[in-house]
Chains A and B, each alone.
Chain A
Amino acid sequence: MKRFRSPVRILGATVGAALALAGCASGTTPVADNTPITLTLATFNKFGYSDEMLAQYHKVHPNVTVVQNIAATSQAAQDNMFTKLAAGSGLGDVEAVEVDWMPKLKQYANLFVDLSTPAVTSRWLDWKTQAATVNGRLIGAGTDIGPEAICYRSDPFVKAGLASDPAGVAQLLSGDWNNYYAVGQKFTAANTGVAWFDSAGATYQGLANQYQNFFEQNDGTVIATTNPDVKSAFVSVLNASSTSSAHLQEWSTDWNAGLANGAWATMLCPSWMLGVISGNGPKLKDWKIANVFPNGGGNWGGSYLTVPTQGKHTAAAKELALWLTAPEQQIAAFVTTGNYPSQVGAYNNPALTGAMNPYFNNAPIGQIFADRAKAVKVTPYKGVKYAAIMQAVQDGLTRVESKKQSIDASWAQVVSDIKALS
């Protein structure tokens, strides 16, 4: 059926262009404020935009009703985005975009509304704004960043005879990745019936985000197949995984079920992961957060809100996107799901610094993630092919974890898959 797509695409592009023109035309004569409109907000995983928050927006803007559509994974959201960008219609008025595939969208900056206004020029961390700016046009309003800590379950730690309070675990795990794996060996040797971490793939994300140029050089040249760091991370994670992993591929149905059943004792915990853990494992009472991360700090993920020009109410959508990414709303989101704000103005707010999370045994998450954010020293360069290369490497890790291939054979296939991306 795919071959029937192209004319739709042309038609869509024409309609899209016409709409864009119409949008420009109506921009000069703003629509009367009281015309009732519905805006769709498309997000994925957990963004922390609660129904109450959206109702609050409706109260301030009585003519605007916001409907949120939530995709299951970032990959699904990404595919949906490109399909509908190509069709020229069908996207939400406000679309969430993850940092890893932002570079792909930056090539088509003209398909997105410029969100910069004098009021928001210094709202976000510099690197956050930088990663969404093309020739002075800001195409994404930063939502959160993903400073990483380690989340762990204290019951298996007690069973294994390891320190189990957050301070003790932080001390236990401070060091490099080899230390993290070594503690994992010790933990595994105690036979608690629980794995050390969830999957090689998830752990690999932690390593990959600690390098300035991991897969690509700053000019976009792909170095993934030749960079020794990429391969050594691949091999070391898999060596650890052979004894320490639950072998459950992140975001799979089995992974979700494993999380609910407490199948592993530790996992890398970017701030946004808190909502995923508490949402999946409501029955588990022993999840805690250690203020530590192997090899220093790291940032995993974090997102933006964009306003595609194909929408009908781009002006109203821009207003909504900027409202949702204001410090107040992002602090509220942080309290609900843990997504740590990318807004500089939020960092000194007592509502953030004093935030506690009851699910994680009242962990002082405001304090922990402020520290974890300060520990991030590197801003990785992510180019156009980053997401596709990461997918190829993740597939390679999964092939070894599912015992389909040896490490060497899998790596050879990763190399050929990456070469096929050119």
Chain B
Amino acid sequence: MTTSTLVVKDLARRSVGFRKNLGRWDVKYSPYLFISPFFILFALVGLFPLLYTGWVSLHAWDLLGGQGKWTGFDNFAFVLQQRQFWIAVRNTVSIFLVSAIPQLIAATAIAAALDTNLRNKTFWRMSVLLPFVVMPVAVTMIFGSMFGERYGLVNRTLADVGLGPIRWHTEPFASHIAIATMVNFRWTGYNALIILAGMQAISRDLYEAATIDGASWLQRFFRITLPQLRPTIIFVIITATIGGLQIFDEPRLYDQNGLGGEDQQWMTMTIYLYKLGWTQLNFGRAAAVAWLLFLVIVAVGLINLAITRRIASSEGRTA
């Protein structure tokens, strides 16, 4: 009898202990459980491919034939010695700068305009987003023919106002501007809306106080709006960096061959990667380019972060 009651008591105590433990675990581990779907998904579709691509890049690897022999860093060495690779880096960075900088300035200006007391606010805000819902392929086809050198709309218009034709498909920088135009057409409105959301989160008290102090509209914009927008702008810059450096659709569809031009004028890193992997069927080299692109993005991302931090903190000091 006594032993059995003891056992029961012990069991009861244990089950209480177990429940207590459960409670503790709940507090301790549940948050991780709740956010785990993201990380599991990321491991599956982000981390694993990243590591697997690294594995591929260390082999001779045929797109369709599959794994060949281990080659160490030969693929990286080969790619880094190619003239075309460095041209691809140049083009990618150039197109990125030509598109991202005007895009952010325009997006901020549009957001500032939308933030004022407009009639039919929703209408204007939705209109800004309109280009974003147009299929990139359609945008590129239309812009591609507009930028035709001899029969394109842009050059004909230039000729009508007495200017010489610009060689959109021959000169590297001209082609970068044309491609940047397509990118900006699609993304400016989208970024404007994100920045607008950031602007609306700024406390109106700040503006009222500044207005009472006699600050002009411009002063308010540069002294209040921009510094307060810092987190939003960092977010927009980082997403624009990732997207911009991976640009593919626009240069791919810019001409009929999709390989970046006869002199690689607008061949970006992703196009180069595609050319190696899917036209030459050399998946190992393509994987090496993918890794190099990843490193470039990380590097540019860090530089971005450093610059935006510095700008923000120096603004903080002046303010």
Contact = CB atoms under 8 A, between A and B. Distances in A.
A273 B152 CA distance: 24
A388 interface: yes
Nearest to A13: B66
Instruction: State the main secondary structure of chain A at its contact with B.
Output: helix
A345 to B, nearest CB: 34
Contact of A7 (B45, B150, B255): B45
Contact of B262 (A5, A79, A86, A399): A399
B256 A251 contact: yes
Interface stretch (B177-185, B191-199, B221-229, B272-280): B272-280
Contact of A79 (B144, B255, B278, B286): B278
Given A2-B274, A86-B63, A257-B148, A388 B279 contact: yes
Contact of B53 (A3, A79, A398): A3
Interface stretch (A103-111, A127-135, A282-290, A363-371): A103-111
Contacts of B286: 2
Nearest to A86: B63
A165 to B, nearest CB: 31
A420 B170 contact: no
A82 B53 contact: no
A252 interface: yes
A399 B260 CA distance: 13
A82 B64 contact: yes
A7 B49 contact: yes
A79 B276 CA distance: 11
B263 A395 contact: yes
A4 B149 contact: no
B257 A73 contact: yes
B186 interface: no
Given A108-B65, A388-B280, A73 B256 contact: yes
B49 A3 contact: yes
B262 A398 contact: yes
Contact of A420 (B82, B257, B277, B279): B82
B59 to A, nearest CB: 12
B145 interface: yes
Contact of A2 (B44, B257, B270): B270
A122 interface: no
Given A86-B64, A254-B149, A402 B48 contact: no
Contacts of A3: 49-50, 53, 287, 290-291, 293-294
Interface string B140-171: 00001100111110000000000000010110
B262 A396 contact: yes
Nearest to A201: B262
Given A1-B248, A3-B290, A82-B278, A107 B65 contact: yes
A65 interface: no
B301 interface: no
B278 A86 contact: yes
B52 A258 contact: no
Contacts of A413: 263
Contacts of A396: 262
Contacts of B82: 420
Given A253-B151, A421-B280, A75 B258 contact: yes
Interface in A367-422: 388, 391, 394-396, 398-399, 402-405, 413, 416-417, 420-421
Contacts of A394: 262
Contacts of B167: 402
A173 interface: no
Nearest to A404: B263
Nearest to B291: A3
A261 B151 contact: yes
B151 A4 contact: no
A412 to B, nearest CB: 11
Contact of B151 (A83, A251, A257, A402): A257
A2 B290 contact: yes
Contacts of B44: 7
> Lowest 9 A-B CB distances belong to which pairs?
A257-B151, A398-B262, A395-B262, A3-B290, A251-B256, A402-B170, A3-B53, A253-B148, A253-B145
13 contacts: A2-B270, A2-B274, A5-B49, A7-B44, A78-B279, A79-B278, A82-B278, A82-B279, A108-B65, A394-B262, A399-B263, A402-B167, A413-B263
Given A2-B273, A403-B170, A420-B82, 14 more contacts: A2-B293, A4-B46, A6-B52, A7-B49, A85-B64, A86-B278, A111-B64, A254-B151, A394-B262, A398-B262, A402-B167, A402-B169, A404-B263, A420-B84
